[in-house]
Structure 1
Amino acid sequence: MGQLDNMQYNDCGMPTFDTKDLVIREDIMAKAKELAELIGTSEEVEHFKKAEQKIQNHERVQGLIQTIKKKQKEIVAFESFENKAMVAKIEKEIEELQDEIDSIPLVTEFQQSQSDINYLLQLVVSVIRDTVSQKVNVEAGTEAAPSSCD
């Protein structure tokens, strides 16, 4: 059953689409996957993978992460007993541990690699949006349907 089998039309006779039912053309999806694979081979992604591997093998960072997770569980327990003083104390300890993690150069490098990938993805989306906008007046999906068919 294709998308056109259950086509809905507005009062002006224009087709309307429910985004959850919208079927993307196979050729568009194929190009999107091709682009995703290409991005996956970018220098930014390679840098991220290397930094992620270093983080996973860094004993101090992993130890700090485990300690933070343990303290987060402690917070849940103390919250259930409504012990605000202990919750505040443990939250401060977690903040100090997080500051220590953030001060490790490898972590800074990893965070920068995440930012670089996000920037690359935002740039790609912007190029696509701007290119489509040149052909069609595309807004951020918030423009209301026309009130009349004029």
Structure 2
Amino acid sequence: MHEEDNRPEGDKVGREEILNKARELAAIIARSEEAETFRKAEAKIDQNGHIQTLINAIKKKQKEIVAFESLGNTTMVGKIDQEIAVLQKELDDIPLVREYQQLQVDMNDLLQSTVGAVKDIVSAHLELERS
């Protein structure tokens, strides 16, 4: 018997049960220290007027690029691309933004390592069953 579900060894589980367990795991990850730190940094980013101004300016410039591309105006596209690069550098040079970007990497690493662990464990179980 499995202690966690009182199911006899060898009983099969359905897709819905697997998805429910995945939801439980997702909730655990969402409550992790990494996720909490990420949410706090995201809130700081959202509340920072200067950062939001830069983000909005970049988005506006990206829309301008799309418009000029549709007109075939490569000169303006190049000019606006340079303006975006300047805005992006200013944004990237803000310590809070760099911290947020690092936290995004950390969260992605946590998710990727979780997916990798599940994959490795399932593969190991399948190998054992074949033996």
Q: Give the shorter-chain TM-score range.
A: 0.7 to 0.9
Q: Return the structure number with greater helix share.
A: 2
Residue matched to 1:107: 97
Root-mean-square deviation (CA, aligned residues, Å) is 1.5
Unaligned segments of structure 1, at least 5 residues: 1-23, 138-150
User: Residue 89 of structure 1: which of 74, 79, 82 is its match?
Assistant: 79
Bigger CA radius of gyration? 1
TM-score for the superposition, normalised by structure 1? 0.72
TM-score for the superposition, normalised by structure 2? 0.81
User: Residue 54 of structure 1: which of 44, 49, 56 is its match?
Assistant: 44
Q: Distance in 1 between matches of 2:93 and 2:17?
A: 46
Identity, in percent, stands at 55
Q: Distance in 1 between matches of 2:100 and 2:24?
A: 26
User: Residue 119 of structure 1: which of 64, 85, 109 is its match?
Assistant: 109
The structure 1 segments of at least 4 consecutive aligned residues displaced by more than 3 Å after TM superposition are: none
Residue matched to 2:122: 132
1:114 Cα offset (Å): 0.8
1:77 Cα offset (Å): 2.3
1:76 correspondence with 2:66: yes
Q: Distance in 2 between matches of 1:126 and 1:73?
A: 38
User: Residue 22 of structure 2: which of 4, 22, 32 is its match?
Assistant: 32
